[in-house]
Structure 1
Amino acid sequence: TLQASMRSPNMETFKQQKVEDFYDIGEELGSGQFAIVKKCREKSTGLEYAAKFIKKRQSPASRRGVCREEIEREVSILRQVLHPNVITLHDVFENRTDVVLILELVSGGELFDFLAQKESLSEEEATSFIKQILEGVNYLHAKKIAHFDLKPENIMLLDKNIPIPHIKLIDFGLAHEIEDGVEFKNIFGTPEFVAPEIVNYEPLGLEADMWSIGVITYILLSGASPFLGDTKQETLANITAVSYDFDEEFFSQTSELAKDFIRKLLVKETRKRLTIQEALRHPWIMSKGEIRAPEQHKAEPNQLKTKRLREYTLKCHSSMPPNNTYINFERFARVVEDVARVEQGCRALTGAHDTIQDDVETLISIYNEKEAWYREESERARHDLSQLRYEFRKVKSSKKLLREDIRATGSRLGGAARKLDHLQTQFETLRQELSADLQWLQELVGSFQLESGSMDSPGSVFCRDASESFGELLNRSCGEEVLAGLKL
């Protein structure tokens, strides 16, 4: 009963609740024509998932969005699959405009981007990745599910921080269950990777995926696309003609077993193309690295091959070729709305043209007046500046003369100071000599006084007068009168 319910989804199988009530929606991870994938975190567990918002087609006549039948088919297929190399579905929500698929978060990036960053790539490493792809496809084909959109962008890595990362096949928007006895035809997919039966609108089956694996293997080993032309029409013509070769420039270091594996996949007749079981049993996939001679394990060819693969991935991501054009519906709708608003603004601008013209003329008149005033002010300021420069030069010259006068005065003061020092030295010497002479005379007078013996005698009086005169003279020896006598 559970299996039957999973195979027949209806509106009741989608939760009619807001996904935001259960998950915190984060950054955008990628977008397709009518889908946006965002990172999200489940509120109840804290686990991270990827939320794929699929824009629903609002009416049968509309070309925008995905019809409900196709969304239900994708959900039905995802609910049937549970394999290590296939992305798993966790939950489904629906609102007025979108169906939201809560998917396993595959955060390791695209396989080709991972390989392009490696310094070298051996065939043994290549086979390990191709084998993972085959195992995922084998699981799908065992359930009669054809992916129909196998390409590098849909081959992701669960975690790229390990030597041999785990591959996950994603995006089941074009996947179909192949029913025995029911003919299925369609034209879809990416032209570079589609099988001839898709181009020719022939009945489709699981074999279409095997052709895409052959193209992916060819690009992985060479960095070149086997059928890609300059235009979509040229690419499709190359596919229907199976027009490709193993260019020596790209496959000089590739083993014959690897080329044989590709040849048996790129076969136009579906009955002669390798099945998934035959591909898994191919010697190149079964081998353990002994397929290459020791002298072929050189670093330089491997590095050159990786370089070409890097150039291929950069070209695919940056040039957006006509074969692989993706449009984000939400962004496109916003652009259309913006264009409509711009057109409305242009019409309003045209209606107000006369008023704007008058305003422009008024502004020009004001500008001319302001320009004349600024020109006059500028001329006055220029004259004032010239006068200031003249005054500055005068002050600068006066400053120079004053500095020279100060220097000369300082020189003269220095000479006078030296002369004064010399004269003071002479004065001190004379004072000392005069003091000595006066002391001698005083002593001489004193001796006379002792010899006279009488205080009232004429000699005594003479001695007293002489002593007073000598004392006064001695006190004045450092005075102004002596200095004036020296004519200082």
Structure 2
Amino acid sequence: MLLDKNLPLPRIKLIDFGLAHRIQEGTEFKNIFGTPEFVAPEIVNYEPLGLEADMWSIGVITYILLSGASPFLGDTKQETLANISAMNYEFDEEFFSHTSELAKSFIRQLLEKDTRKRMTIQDALNHPWIKCNEHREDPKPPEHRKRGDRQQLRTKRLKEYTIKSHSSMPPNHTYADFERFARVVEDIALVEVGLGGVAEARGTLQDDMEALASIYSEKASWYREESESARQELSKLRYELRKVEASRRQLREDLAATEASLAGVGSRFLERTSRLDALRCEISAELQWVQDIVGSLRLGDGCHDNGDGTGDSNGDLSSSSSVTKDDVNKAMKELLGRPHGIALEITEASQQR
């Protein structure tokens, strides 16, 4: 409860700090609790809070004090919060016909949705409407003031509004005289205690908890959906990764098999090359041997001796040639019959040549 300490019998300035929270500088604070018609848009939207939220509430209180009506109050809490988010309020002529433009300007600058444009504490204290009323004194005490037809803040209207507001019935948007506000609130508090105020408070808390649970349920559902989608994508990526790994293993196995095959082919190639070189050498040696035999035979044919010191090239040419060819055929058969993988038969036609 905030009182005016400069008076012998201080009057109440502000009350109901049960949900107040000290904000530490540099620490983010969020909250969704509060009396619906007085909370700022950032509370409705569950955004970080600061002193700007209190300045908004001061704007609502000022609106009520000057008009006896609530700027955003609807038939239900949901409607009230929707009005706050939509900035759905106006200065009805029924209640503001005798309110100055400076006062309306003061309220407008406090009921600003953008916290950066909303008046600060110092801005509010320096506002012309506050400055021009700062040193104004009451000519008469409250109990002797003249109450005319233009006086909007009546006790009956405040009591009517407060009772209907607390019973969740559609309000008539009126407040009573603020000088008797404390006494009326005390009377209503006693009535509420007698009629089961604890149960009503519990119901209000239950509504708030249900709203909070609904918010968290919606968030949890969204996170579950996102998590399921991410899980499916991750599963697909893992499947593709396994396929790539399997392909890489198969490729490595194929490469290893190819390398082994190439090594075997190379080994066999070297072996065949070695055998070919050896065979080439043997064939060369055999050919040389054949050439030597043929050369010696030709030499013998050309120099046949008849016994009288003269050579006879025609006498026994036929018999010598036959003997020579027989020797050659035998040598060739012997050569071709050796185990070199060559099978060749000498035909009779080739023997007659």
| Same fold per superposition (TM over 0.5) | no
Output the TM-score relative to the length of structure 1. 0.31
**Structure with larger RCO (C-alpha < 8 A, sep 6+):** 1
- Larger Rg, first or second structure (1 or 2): 2
